[in-house]
């Protein structure tokens, strides 16, 4: 009987579990493009690495490194400074600015780049006003900073990405105990000393995590740096693949980006692990904003307005000026096609991504095996990988699979179906799923974590299956988390540019691609309508994010 019982236990232990198998399959699909990039990089048909290392790679690394450090420093300064001011002080417009500082998240960085160049270029309003005011007749009569430069790229990217730092820093400052600042004030510490000695050390882990996200977003950017003629590792991928027709060289550059991203992720996690920050008691008195004098209150307002104006007012204002002009065509059939493509592809990708995220998190929670649990955190690497890297990792394996499928169908039926995956938007949807899977997974994990396991146990005791518990118990209680994840993934899909440029089928355009193509040709009136549509979609997500962070 004991042997029989042992055998039955072993069979139960090794019984096929569909939830665990599905979770492992989803994780492997998410990790497939990154693995493909590594394999292609180490097995190229033509080894371009010696040529890259001796010619363009040092320039790519230098520009990428300078951009990363510059954007990180400026974003951290703007985001942390704005968060400190709106949290610690009371001044006119504070309540409005507290939420307005989120709005640059709705504007893609490449839209900000097009707007800044249009605003500051020779024929733009700034230089035109200077020539009229001082009687200058040509550019030889005065000096003006070069608009298309590395410094301008740092400014635009910082103005677009600082809300990541602002969001986490503001939350960290609001959670700090007010008593710590009262003690520091009683010991004679002034406002600056309280910031450096109390506020910043307590908020450092949150600021470091947000700055790491900013640096990863900087590495993945293509539209901004390309418009400012700054050659980075991401532009190098496009050059190696599209101009030199060398997929191996593109994969090798993509591996360099992956190494940079892994270093950033590792450093960020080490900094959080070494930090020893303890919050006060749950009932501790929160920070109480102090009133400012007549001069300082308007100075605080002006300092907070600078990043908001650079990241939102300027790009949206320039696009509105062009979008409402006589040359803008809001009913252009190509624009409407791009809008439809963005809505369809983004909507499908959002539904697939969130569904896969829910399935995987639920499967890991049900699974008794270690493998799904170990793979769960690894799937977040897709979000850290830039879109250009995923483009390389998705297109080449899918193209090989596409050709084999077409050959198989042709051999069996005599009909050539053509490229079913890479010739349609399927590859684009797959890339979006991999790129933004971490958002859906994080939202699902947080949603499941807020629900007591006793509710699910009660449903199971009443005869509900695992799938029934998910549909009847968890999903109704997680409507807010699921809806938020759907919207955030959809907005990110609409804004995504590098992966879309590499993976879109021939003659297939989205709003992001249309903005890029028209702005590249200096047709800003034609680029303004799709840019404003992207901003409108982004504003919906920012409004939801601001509501969730009240």
**Is the separation of the CB atoms in 499 and 454 below 8 Å?**
no
Where residue 59 falls among pLDDT bands split at 50, 70, 90?
Answer: very high
What confidence score (pLDDT) does residue 285 get? 64
What confidence score (pLDDT) does residue 355 get? 92
What confidence score (pLDDT) does residue 88 get? 87
What confidence score (pLDDT) does residue 58 get? 93
- Angle at CA of residue 419, ends 391 and 357, nearest 5°: 50
| Mean pLDDT value across residues 471-480 | 79
Backbone Cα Rg of the chain: 26
Cβ neighbours for 456, distance < 8 A, ≥ 6 positions apart: 469, 473, 474
pLDDT above 70: residue 278: no
Of 32, 4, 26, give the one whose Cα is nearest residue 400. 32
In whole angstroms, what is the distance from residue 399 CA to residue 321 CA?
43
DSSP code, position 284: P
Is 246 exposed, middle or buried, given 0-12, 13-18 or 19+ CB atoms closer than 10 A? Answer: buried
* pLDDT > 70 in the chain, percent: 90
What confidence score (pLDDT) does residue 157 get? 96
pLDDT above 60: residue 5: no
Where residue 176 falls among pLDDT bands split at 50, 70, 90?
Answer: confident
Highest average pLDDT, of 4-13, 33-42, 73-82, 286-295, comes from 73-82
What confidence score (pLDDT) does residue 14 get? 46
First to last CA, the chain: 61
- 3-state SS, 454-505, equals HHHHHHHHCCCCHHHHHHHHHHHHCHHHHHHHHHHHHHHHHHCCHHHHHHCC
In the structure encoding, which two tokens stand for residue 300, read together? Answer: 């605080």
Of 514, 522, 503, 501, give the one whose Cα is nearest residue 221. 501
CB atoms within 10 A of CB 475: 15
| Mean pLDDT value across residues 487-502 | 89
| Mean pLDDT value across residues 420-430 | 85
DSSP code, position 286: B
In the structure encoding, which two tokens stand for residue 520, read together? Answer: 């590249």
Q: Which of 65-69, 248-252, 350-354 has the lowest mean pLDDT?
A: 248-252
- Name the average pLDDT for the chain: 84
Q: Which residue has the tokens 């089928």?
A: 505
| Mean pLDDT value across residues 157-162 | 95
**Is the separation of the CB atoms in 485 and 443 below 8 Å?**
yes
In whole angstroms, what is the distance from residue 434 CA to residue 446 CA?
19
In whole angstroms, what is the distance from residue 230 CA to residue 104 CA?
22
In whole angstroms, what is the distance from residue 351 CA to residue 359 CA?
12
pLDDT above 90: residue 160: yes
pLDDT above 70: residue 546: no
| Mean pLDDT value across residues 501-525 | 89
pLDDT above 80: residue 501: yes
What confidence score (pLDDT) does residue 353 get? 93
| Mean pLDDT value across residues 513-530 | 91
Cβ neighbours for 176, distance < 8 A, ≥ 6 positions apart: 198, 199, 202, 203, 279, 280, 287
The model's pTM: 0.86
In the structure encoding, which two tokens stand for residue 337, read together? Answer: 């096609």
In the structure encoding, which two tokens stand for residue 136, read together? Answer: 């200058």
Cβ neighbours for 20, distance < 8 A, ≥ 6 positions apart: 363, 364, 366, 367, 368, 369, 371, 372
Where residue 9 falls among pLDDT bands split at 50, 70, 90?
Answer: very low
Q: pLDDT tens, 344-375? A: 999 999 999 999 988 888 888 877 677 777 77
In whole angstroms, what is the distance from residue 326 CA to residue 356 CA?
45
pLDDT above 70: residue 271: no
Give me the count of residues in the chain: 550
Strands 290-291 and 89-90: parallel
Domains detected in the chain: 26-37+325-550 (1.10.3720.10), 56-276+287-323 (1.10.3720.10)
Q: Report the sign of the C-alpha dihedral through residues 336, 330, 224, 537, in that order.
A: negative
| Mean pLDDT value across residues 429-446 | 87
Q: pLDDT tens, 280-337? A: 444 456 677 888 888 888 999 999 999 999 999 999 999 999 999 888 889 889 999 9
Q: Which of 28-32, 64-68, 222-226, 472-476 has the lowest mean pLDDT?
A: 472-476
What confidence score (pLDDT) does residue 395 get? 83
Where residue 182 falls among pLDDT bands split at 50, 70, 90?
Answer: low
What confidence score (pLDDT) does residue 86 get? 92
pLDDT above 50: residue 2: no
In whole angstroms, what is the distance from residue 231 CA to residue 239 CA?
10
**Is the separation of the CB atoms in 451 and 477 below 8 Å?**
yes
DSSP code, position 278: -
Q: Which of 139-143, 341-345, 473-477 has the lowest mean pLDDT?
A: 473-477
Q: Which residue has the tokens 């640096």?
A: 215
The distance between the two most distant Cα atoms of the chain, rounded to a whole number of Å, is 103
In whole angstroms, what is the distance from residue 170 CA to residue 179 CA?
18
Pairwise pLDDT comparison (285 vs 438), residue with the higher score = 438
pLDDT above 80: residue 71: yes
Q: pLDDT tens, 200-213? A: 887 888 888 889 88
> Which DSSP string corresponds to 498-548?
HHHHHHPPTT---HHHHHHHHHHTT-HHHHHHHHHHHHHHHHHHHHHHHHH
């Amino acid at each position: 009987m004991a042997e029989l019982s042992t055998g039955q236990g072993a069979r139960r232990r090794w019984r096929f579990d569909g939830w665990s198998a599905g979770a492992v399959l989803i994780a492997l699909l998410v990790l497939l493009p990154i693995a493909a990039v590594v394999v292609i990089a180490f097995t190229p048909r033509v080894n371009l690495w010696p040529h890259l290392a001796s010619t363009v790679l040092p320039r790519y690394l230098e520009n990428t490194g300078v951009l990363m450090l510059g954007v990180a420093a400026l974003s951290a300064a703007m985001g942390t400074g704005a968060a400190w001011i709106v949290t610690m002080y009371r001044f006119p417009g504070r309540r409005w600015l507290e939420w307005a500082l989120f709005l640059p998240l709705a504007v893609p960085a490449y839209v900000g780049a097009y707007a800044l160049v249009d605003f500051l270029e020779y024929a733009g309003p700034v230089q035109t006003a200077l020539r009229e005011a001082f009687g200058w007749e040509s550019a030889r009569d005065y000096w003006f900073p070069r608009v298309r430069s590395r410094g301008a790229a740092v400014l635009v990217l910082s103005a677009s990405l600082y809300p990541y730092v602002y969001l986490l820093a503001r939350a960290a400052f609001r959670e700090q105990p007010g008593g710590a600042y009262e003690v520091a004030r009683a010991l004679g510490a002034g406002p600056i000393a309280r910031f450096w000695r109390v506020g910043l050390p307590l908020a450092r882990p949150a600021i470091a995590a947000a700055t790491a996200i900013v640096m990863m977003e900087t590495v993945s950017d293509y539209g901004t740096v390309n418009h400012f003629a700054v050659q980075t590792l991401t532009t190098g991928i496009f050059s190696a693949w599209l101009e030199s027709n060398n997929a191996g060289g593109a994969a090798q550059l993509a591996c360099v980006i992956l190494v940079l991203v892994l270093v950033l992720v590792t450093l960020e996690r080490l900094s959080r692990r070494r930090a020893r920050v303890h919050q006060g008691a749950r009932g501790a008195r929160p920070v109480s904003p102090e009133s400012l004098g007549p001069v300082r209150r308007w100075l605080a307002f002006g300092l907070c307005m600078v990043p908001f104006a650079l990241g939102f007012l300027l790009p949206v204002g320039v696009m509105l000026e062009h979008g409402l002009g006589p040359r803008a065509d809001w009913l252009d059939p190509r624009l409407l096609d791009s809008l439809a493509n963005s809505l369809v592809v983004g909507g499908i990708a959002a539904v697939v991504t969130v569904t896969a995220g829910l399935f995987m998190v639920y499967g890991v929670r049900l699974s008794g095996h270690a493998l799904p649990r170990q793979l769960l955190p690894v799937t977040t690497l897709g979000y850290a990988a830039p879109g250009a890297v995923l483009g390389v990792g998705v297109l080449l394996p899918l193209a090989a699979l596409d050709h084999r499928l077409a050959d198989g169908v042709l051999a069996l039926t005599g009909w050539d179906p053509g490229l079913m995956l890479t010739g349609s938007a399927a590859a684009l949807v797959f890339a979006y799923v991999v790129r933004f899977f971490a958002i859906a997974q994080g939202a699902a994990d947080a949603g499941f974590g807020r629900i007591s396991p006793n509710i699910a146990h009660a449903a199971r005791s009443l005869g509900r299956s695992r799938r029934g518990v998910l549909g009847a118990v968890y999903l109704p209680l997680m409507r807010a988390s699921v809806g938020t994840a759907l919207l955030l993934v959809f907005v990110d899909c609409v804004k995504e540019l590098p992966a879309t440029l590499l993976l879109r089928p021939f003659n297939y355009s989205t709003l992001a691609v249309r903005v890029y193509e028209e702005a590249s040709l200096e047709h800003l009136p034609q680029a303004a309508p799709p840019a404003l549509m992207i901003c409108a979609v982004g504003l919906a997500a920012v409004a939801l994010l601001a509501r969730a962070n009240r």
